Amino acid sequence: MRHLVCGAAVAALGAGALVVALDLGFGSLSQPGSGTWPSIVSTVLVVLGLFIMVRSGHYADAERLTKDGLRVAAAVAGIAGAAALIPLIGFEIPSFVLLVAWMSALGGERLRLSVPLAAAAVAVFYAVFVSALAVPLPRLF
């Protein structure tokens, strides 16, 4: 039963993403639109979710959901929060906070290590994407 629910969740996620991706415009094979790759990935999610649902009666060796699953949920919530904040306040602060939270809270690193590493990582991302590649990221500075 658990596998049936997981398959349905994956298929539903793929279907929702496919609706959004098709709104972006699929384009054609010779000139793909901005929704081409998201549509392909979403379709794969739907197919895999349906496959999991069909095969759900044959799985007997799945891992149990434990408290460690909460770490995954926290990581997903953190990246969703950072993604929501990036257009509002730039990528520097949300990226820094996300990296510190992941390293400290989820990874168990001390703050005296995670804070400078997160600052260095954000500086490298800034140097590569904003300065070297001229990617128009929303930024504070």
Q: What is the pTM of this model?
A: 0.63
In the predicted model, is pLDDT for residue 49 greater than 70? yes
54-78 pLDDT, tens per residue?
A: 988 777 766 677 777 788 888 999 9
Q: Is 28 left (phi over 0), alpha (psi -120 to 50) or beta?
A: beta
Torsion (CA) 28, 34, 38, 43 in degrees, nearest 10: -20
